[in-house]
């Protein structure tokens, strides 16, 4: 393959990303930052957790992404009575009418898809939440001693409501760590909210066209790995993650507000997310701006705050902002 052909391929891939963003925008008004972070998760091959109050279009956003991608899409509404077999699948006893021989056949559950929308994930008990752990990390499902491979690509896009705590089960730290990004969905601006009202209460219905298939997604994921990230940026990411752990050398805010800091997976996620953002913006090299933009979505769900932070009404984002201020880029 010649250099000119390679450059042409890259430009074609970048153009497809623009087409994908345009397709999603036909159903989603505003929320550019949320859409961008969702696409970054897609390109980096990671799972995303969307958090926001009801009615902000979280489910619609994920469904629109599923419609724009020529991938198999399934939605599971998580409820307190949902069992692991409702997600993973179960074995059925079948009989061969010719021989009378009986055997078990595995019936795959809804997790055997490319894009799984886990709606209100925190409404189901830990037993069912844990059923997703192997699938999210290993892309496999083990049942009755047999390991079943999930289709590629595979994404879990989960939503949760931060307001209602009655009847919910907070996700354990081990499962939170499996999410590449924790995306906050906020209220729209006044102009965006007016556009939403006009678009959703008339006779026209926005259709999201299919603009990308699975092979293109896998090719883009491979391209993300090729994006350059300099040694100085890699060193800075390492220092940022290590500085989030409360010890003698940690910043004062971390010592005061953090009980448990981020692990190595946070650094891996920040590197991949920064590379994906660079590619999404048409660059083949990550910059410091990519890291600053994604530090909060990557790390906010990986910090366990102390009682002092709760008493002072400090959030994980406050800690991350302090880290970005206090951890030097050079040296």
Read out DSSP for 82-142?
--HHHHHEEEEEEE-TTT--EEEEEEE-TTSSSEEEEETGGGS-HHHHTHHHHHHHHSEEE
pLDDT tens for the chain, 331 residues: list them: 444 446 777 777 787 888 887 777 777 777 778 888 989 999 999 999 988 877 777 777 778 888 888 888 888 898 888 888 889 888 887 777 777 777 777 788 899 998 899 888 888 888 888 888 888 888 888 887 888 899 888 999 888 877 666 667 888 887 888 899 999 888 877 887 787 777 777 666 667 777 888 888 888 899 999 999 999 999 999 999 999 999 878 888 888 899 988 989 999 999 999 999 999 998 889 999 999 999 999 999 999 998 998 898 999 999 999 999 998 887 5
What does the alpha-carbon distance between residue 279 and residue 269 come to, in Å, rounded to a whole number? 15
43 in Cβ contact with 276 (< 8 Å): yes
pLDDT at 267: 94
305 in Cβ contact with 314 (< 8 Å): yes
Backbone conformation region of residue 89, classed left if phi is above 0, alpha if psi is from -120 to 50, else beta: left
Neighbours of 63 (CB within 10 A): 20
Strand positions, DSSP E, 167-290? 179-184, 212-213, 258-260
pTM of the model: 0.86
pLDDT at 205: 67
Name the 3-class secondary structure at 327.
coil
Q: Measured at the alpha carbon of residue 182, what is the angle toward residues 111 and 196, in degrees to the nearest 5?
A: 90
Name the 3-class secondary structure at 306.
coil
How far is residue 153 CA from its own chain's centroid? 13
Buried b (16+ CB within 10 A) or exposed e, 19-34: ebbebbbebbbbbeeb
Q: Would you state the torsion angle of the CA atoms of residues 63, 67, 73, 79, taken in this order, to the nearest 10 degrees?
A: 10
Look at residues 128, 78, 88 and name the one whose alpha carbon lies nearest to residue 108: 88
Contacts 24+ apart (CB under 8 A), 105-110: 106/143, 106/144, 106/146, 106/148, 108/141, 108/148, 109/85, 110/74, 110/76, 110/86
Neighbours of 119 (CB within 10 A): 20
pLDDT at 103: 74
List, in sequence order, every residue forming a beta bridge with 79; answer none if it has no partner: none
pLDDT at 3: 45
pLDDT at 55: 72
Tokens of 2: 């010649």
Task: Name the pairing type of β-strands 102-108 and 179-184.
Answer: unpaired
17 in Cβ contact with 216 (< 8 Å): no
Helix (H) or strand (E) holding 149: strand 146-149
What does the alpha-carbon distance between residue 166 and residue 168 come to, in Å, rounded to a whole number? 6
């Amino acid at each position: 393959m010649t250099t000119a052909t390679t450059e042409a391929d890259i430009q074609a891939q970048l153009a497809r990303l623009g087409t994908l963003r345009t397709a999603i925008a036909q159903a989603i008004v505003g929320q550019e930052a949320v859409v961008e972070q969702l696409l970054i998760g897609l390109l980096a091959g990671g799972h995303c957790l969307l958090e926001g109050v009801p009615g902000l279009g979280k489910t619609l956003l994920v469904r629109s992404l599923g419609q724009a991608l020529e991938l198999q899409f399934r939605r599971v509404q998580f409820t307190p009575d949902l069992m692991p077999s409702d997600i993973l699948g179960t074995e059925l006893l079948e009989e061969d009418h010719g021989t009378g021989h009986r055997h078990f056949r595995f019936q795959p559950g809804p997790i055997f898809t490319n894009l799984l929308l886990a709606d209100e994930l925190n409404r189901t008990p830990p037993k069912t939440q844990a059923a997703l752990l192997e699938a999210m990390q290993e892309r496999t499902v083990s049942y009755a001693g047999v390991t079943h491979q999930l289709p590629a690509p595979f994404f879990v896009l989960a939503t949760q409501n931060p307001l209602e705590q009655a009847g919910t089960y907070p996700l354990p730290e081990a499962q939170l760590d499996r999410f590449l990004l924790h995306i906050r969905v906020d209220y729209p601006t006044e102009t965006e909210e007016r556009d939403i009202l006009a678009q959703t209460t008339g006779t026209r219905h926005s259709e999201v066209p299919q603009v990308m298939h699975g092979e293109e997604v896998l090719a883009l994921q491979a391209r993300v790995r090729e994006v350059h990230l300099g040694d100085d940026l890699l060193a800075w990411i390492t220092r940022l993650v290590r500085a989030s752990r409360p010890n003698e050398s940690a910043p004062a805010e971390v010592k005061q507000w953090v009980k448990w800091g981020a692990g190595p997976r946070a650094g891996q996620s920040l590197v991949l997310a920064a590379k994906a953002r660079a590619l999404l913006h048409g660059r083949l090299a990550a910059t410091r701006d990519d890291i600053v933009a994604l530090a909060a979505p990557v790390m906010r769900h990986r910090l366990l705050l102390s009682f002092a932070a709760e008493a002072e009404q400090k959030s994980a984002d406050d800690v991350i902002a302090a880290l970005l201020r206090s951890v030097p880029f050079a040296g």
